[in-house]
Chains A and B, each alone.
Chain A
């Protein structure tokens, strides 16, 4: 057996006939996400995707934060499901995750939050972000995906899942109508980027940098080119995340990307105790303004 044959690069490369049964871009959830991107594009805006940690610092405040983010101008809302071992996350999101868990956050609590937000603002697609074990820890993941979909989620991002391991989950996601969003990074070879994009549902998450999540003061100059390349090879809209923290960043991405994801900066805006929902809402509004036409 040759290990070169085993590369995930070749693993993702399936015959076109198989691609048709792979991926989740044909789901109900993907359509809702796609419509949100289309609405933003129509009015010349970049699709703004703020991120709120479910249960941080407690259930009620996180609900208020989620609504504030939507009212501040979110086109799609990403809801972080706190995890004990968030190895793709930097210190800000690690701390928020761990605070939420200590405050009693559970999967059931996160699903309740999802439902409440969905009922309050039904027009905004909700995309939870989690780690694989939160879905696969006790079985094949069907139960968790079904509960997320039933609560109103449109999609799902799993930080440690690539298409190499994603096929079984894609099948389950298709069953319940969820879009499974994949990530590409600057270390992803171009041919693999295209193959991942072809498998991603709703949109493609372009990680702007080589590293973990966290606010950065500046956006690396090569980001715009990277995003343009990714977008050129992607059949689905491309949203950029990791390190996007300031209105200026969003402004720079406006022509290059379809969407901008802001996470750690919003958690930072909530303050040390995580309760300054007003400040966070204002930052969302600033980011939305920066992403608008003009």
Chain B
């Protein structure tokens, strides 16, 4: 500090070596020049001793970064009376301190105060007054042209300071950043143009501002912050500035990984009343908040387990707890850099136990494993290597640890011998020392399984082993190898991760968690000699940022599977040719050449969208606000009892959970796909939407999405279905869609798809075809599956919350299969979960009049992909028959075909009559009017319970059933309701 005050850090007014004085800075140049003139007199009297005295009595600096390290995007509320772009923003004599208090009450994380007098009507006095009035940290919005301004700002109560990259060259900026930090001022380096970014990053600033408004010209480029965000490594905190007057825009910034939004004008003009200002601030704050688990239960399932390991001091413990770490690791391996004595460990463990608080966001190290730590506080883990089991257990006991991590060569059986919950570390070659040993992944998987089989194994850590050193080496695990292992068994990834690399690692490797030690530590001072000074210590900012980036990485791409999936990859994803299955024999792209260009275009666009967090954030928002997601998970005990009786079983054993997609807006799961594809169509620049529909639910959903997104919509529907589903035809027309009847063929769904494809062939340049099921040419089956997988993702998390485990069986009806693949996707890789699909048996499979493509069909090509279908010996497609228009389809999607052929999907069938009866039973037993489609799934449950033609259910079975839609549309088919439910007499 002394050094700074006696020797000005940056340029002086006279020489200004680090300051850009060139023209081309426009208004910014004028402001900066005026600032220099203003300060001339003041700095002429600059007395280092006086400044030192001022700093000594300055209010203590508050941590500007801490609030931004919490999940989500935070609001920096700016106070300014006027601005060069907007002119005067407030009435004369407005009380800025009142405003500041309203900002604080509304939830602003930081308040920014303008200090510049001429263009912004600010002052140092404003800064001092606001500092006295609020408790949140303050950012001084000053035009810093001289290093000596910094202590003056700190003395006035600033906790952070703005530095404009445009005003300084790289060296000057770096000097200012260091000078500011030295006196406890956190610098925010602001960038207006892309070419300023490298010097902003090189300055060492931890806070980077991306201002959509270029202060040279005052012009706003609303996309600048979003564009430049991806060019900033994740180990910086990023603030978006300007051009935001609608809270909705903040949700997009949050999705892109911005940590804060600086909003001024929109808050200053919110009105005069403090209540109005507070409400406006609160609206912005809410928009930046990450979705709560109640809003997106699937997110809870996706959150990675975060372990901060090798903590050596109190600050490290507090940092890990503030970061909401799921586990805290204390190293007890003598001779390693982070090793603690037993006394140190006991002290830190005690501190951690008393300071850690329960968190609803806490991730479990191993899915389905009962929690071992009461109250959901951070798990305390002691790291040991090759100790005697009894000795290790005694140590854990003495220190009050929740678990041990065995990091040595402990053989299988050791965990059980230790007797308390344990993690086991497996050491991999690093990326650098990669061994292309064939079978290495299989070997590791096998070893991991051996340890996981021990009852008290909490999980497996994959770490690097380098030349005798194990763990904490900072070496990265070979990602391909790690991914191969993580696909098979639940693993926690360790080795060489840091805030910048943890996001990409978690997106690429389906690990259930991450572990970090060296990647979140302070750099060791080069002159440090004493062993204590050389011992690695955690950097609280890095710890916080690591945890934040790790958790965000999984929330922004909900289409990715993030759990182990130990099945053939062909059952999970299509290959480059759109082929599914263990032999890659399903799917593909059998279409007229005219459509190939459109399919390539769709695929290219979807490839980008699939990895664009903004798309998924927008969809999640629509899901929450418009569709009503998450849909309820309801335990239907009365229905379960009736079904058990029907199966000849004692009632009260089966726990049947209905995933209530019938409660979605428009009454079925179809809306999720329709909204997603309509958003996609807008990206593609298509101006017209076509769709086919069977039961009318997809038609209604598409018509709805098109009304919402202002796109003209044509729906093709078979004449037979128009008759059966008249209410939905009226709904589509009311929504502004044109319904075109298709009288060819069987005049049902299949023919509607043919006609939609003909329309698409003809209007391919302007039109997007919103295919309603997970069928069709590549990439449709992938798109529809990605959009519908939210059903199963939500259900898994909801079930985990009420039952603490995954279902024994997931059951869904099978038409084209979009609701089924949506429900099943989450569970395909879960070996403990059986997947049962129920096809429409129509008048009975033996009669030939049915829609059971799997049970009664064979592989062939329908609607652009190879899959199971009903066909005759000549390859003619045979008409399907079902009372349910949504199942009245002779084919089924390629991924379900692949699952069936691989034996992963079991199939039952229910007849028209059985479905009708199930519909009535569900209505009377539960007050839920299910659609005929899911009524098929319900109708098949007695056979599943009794084990009739299928493996029976275990005792106390947990069954998850996809109730894909509501039955209003089927009332006509139900008739006058005189038939009694056969079951009634028995109840």
Contact = CB atoms under 8 A, between A and B. Distances in A.
Interface string A247-274: 0000000000000000000000000000
Nearest to A161: B590
A198 to B, nearest CB: 15
B589 interface: yes
B589 A165 contact: yes
Interface size grouping (class) on chain B: 35 or more
Interface string A88-112: 1110001000100100001110000
A162 B761 contact: no
> Residue among A7, A98, A192, A207 with the most chain B CB within 10 A?
A7
Given A138-B871, A165-B589, 7 more contacts: A6-B578, A101-B876, A107-B874, A131-B861, A133-B869, A133-B877, A137-B860
A219 to B, nearest CB: 17
A164 B592 contact: no
B600 A8 contact: yes
A83 interface: yes
A159 interface: yes
Given A3-B607, A101-B876, A136-B866, A210 B600 contact: no
Contacts of A132: 590, 861
Interface stretch (A35-43, A113-121, A181-189, A278-286): A181-189
Given A160-B861, A164-B577, A165-B588, A87 B758 contact: yes
A210 B597 CA distance: 12
Interface string A48-92: 000000000000000000000000000000000001111111100
A172 interface: no
28 contacts: A1-B576, A3-B779, A6-B578, A7-B603, A8-B596, A83-B876, A85-B751, A101-B876, A106-B874, A107-B873, A107-B875, A108-B874, A131-B861, A133-B861, A133-B871, A137-B860, A137-B874, A137-B875, A138-B858, A144-B875, A160-B592, A162-B589, A162-B593, A165-B589, A187-B593, A187-B765, A210-B594, A211-B761
A222 to B, nearest CB: 14
Contacts of A86: 754
Contacts, number: 143
Nearest to A196: B593
A9 B600 contact: yes
Contacts of B596: 8, 162, 164, 187-188, 192
A186 B877 CA distance: 29
A224 interface: no
A11 interface: yes
A13 interface: no
B368 interface: no
A2 B607 contact: yes
B875 A135 contact: yes
Contact of A185 (B588, B593, B751, B765): B593
Secondary structure of the B side of the interface?
Answer: mixed
A28 interface: no
A233 interface: no
A212 B589 contact: no
Contacts of B889: none
A4 B89 CA distance: 49
Interface residues of A, number: 53
A262 B90 CA distance: 76
Contacts of B595: 187
B839 to A, nearest CB: 20
Nearest to B608: A3
A185 B578 contact: no
A86 B876 CA distance: 10
B800 interface: no
Nearest to B762: A211
Interface in B259-290: none
- Of A2, A4, A83, A164, chain B has the most CB atoms within 10 Å of the CB of A164
Interface string B183-209: 000000000000000000000000000
Nearest to B744: A94
B845 interface: no
Nearest to A185: B594
B607 A4 contact: yes
A6 B593 contact: no
Contacts of A84: 745, 876-878
A67 B606 CA distance: 50
B594 to A, nearest CB: 4
A187 B577 contact: no
B757 interface: yes
Residue of A87, A88, A101 most packed against chain B (CB within 10 A) = A87
Contacts of A188: 593, 596-597
A11 B457 CA distance: 47
A110 B538 CA distance: 79
A133 B862 contact: yes
A159 B873 CA distance: 20
B51 interface: no
A134 B575 CA distance: 25
B647 interface: no
B875 A160 contact: no
A134 B873 CA distance: 9
Nearest to A90: B758
B590 to A, nearest CB: 5
Interface string B695-711: 00000000000000000
